[in-house]
Structure 1
Amino acid sequence: MSTIRTAAPGDGTSVARLYAIAMGTDDAPDPTSPMIQAIEGNGGLVPVPFGTAHCIVAEAEGDVVGMIHAAPPVQWLQDLPGSRAKALAHRILQVELLAVDAGSRGAGLGQRLLEAVEARVRDQQGYLVIGKVRAGDFTAMRYYRRRGYIIAGKREPVVFQTTKGGENITVLDDEFHLFAKAVQPGTALHRDRSMNCIYLVAE
């Protein structure tokens, strides 16, 4: 039996180990690393620019075997006017890392971790969960598509309406594609090929 929960003090080394696995390194976690210090000091709710980063873990038989880290999309928000950025910061979470131990894969833990982030956005009355996937990483693209995410083309924006007008979010780095999912009931993302963009719409 596995449990999905917010990371807590004491999980820092396990989270750092999973981060290293996801990044393809074999480095032993450094106890003084900022990631470990943040988890040990704040648990899984870490203050960041424009809001809070969420570190959620999967625990099985007392061991942390999976984690997801999501935060407000700081690079996008910092280009908006201050009041606008503050209003939108809790509406979107960006998946920055998703990792599951090799021995625990295939049991649906990655999907449950994603669903936990989606639930947090819904609870905040938010619109979207987004992230970036490397161009050409078709395995990752398939993974997110199967879980209801849409993969944007290179520089293809996701457009959505707010009470203050329209906004769009995109990835300008051609080495990556944006992936996104609408999380509120009754909403969905639809691609408009004639306009080369993806719209968030109410169904």
Structure 2
Amino acid sequence: MEFKELTKKDAQIQLAQELQKLLVTCPNSYKDVIQKDFEGYEKLFGRFINETGPSVEWEKIQKLPEGAVWNFSELRAPDTELVKNMLNKLVVVKLNGGLGTSMGCQGPKSIIPVRSELTFLDLTVQQIEHLNKTYSTNVPLVLMNSFNTDDDTQKVIRKYHGFQVKTYTFNQSRYPRINKESLMPIAKTTGSDADLEAARNMYLSATLTTWVLQ
């Protein structure tokens, strides 16, 4: 047990040293952002090597009791004002970090035409706008971009300015992938996109704080 604990401690110390080496390769203009990413990464790494046992205890998972799930036809139509109040607390967050290269598309997957020349993103905006118009609400759309999709997405969302949907974006963090054997980062520089893995990490902003308080 003592050997395992020392090994875990050594791994965390060594990781911190490797992350500092990576930080040196980062341009000064991005250093603060990458530093925050790495701080979060170290916390997740600590959980990864210290937590024991299975992530899911399957024996505790039970079937839902009879009557827990209703048929749609059995549901009563909700009060319009109640729906409006619920929608006023809704923020739609969509993952938008993947490229569509495997589907023959240059850019984000969300801009691939899927129906009547409309893209995934077009359909999402239409659906949210329908809710906003029907119930006089202001449900926003938040896109979680990656370093691969942010530039293209910023250009695409300009066409939605005339729609009754407020669109926001933020970027995923970039966390180094780790070697299975050494548990150390594979990346040698922060500029190596192939060796940096996107991880979900929304920074608290004034806008996000406002949504939470609502």
The two structures have a TM-score, normalised by structure 2, of 0.27
The two structures have a TM-score, normalised by structure 1, of 0.28
The structure with more radius of gyration: 2
The one of the two structures with greater contact order (alpha-carbon pairs below 8 A, sep at least 6) is: 2
Which structure: greater strand fraction? 1
Which structure: greater helix fraction? 2
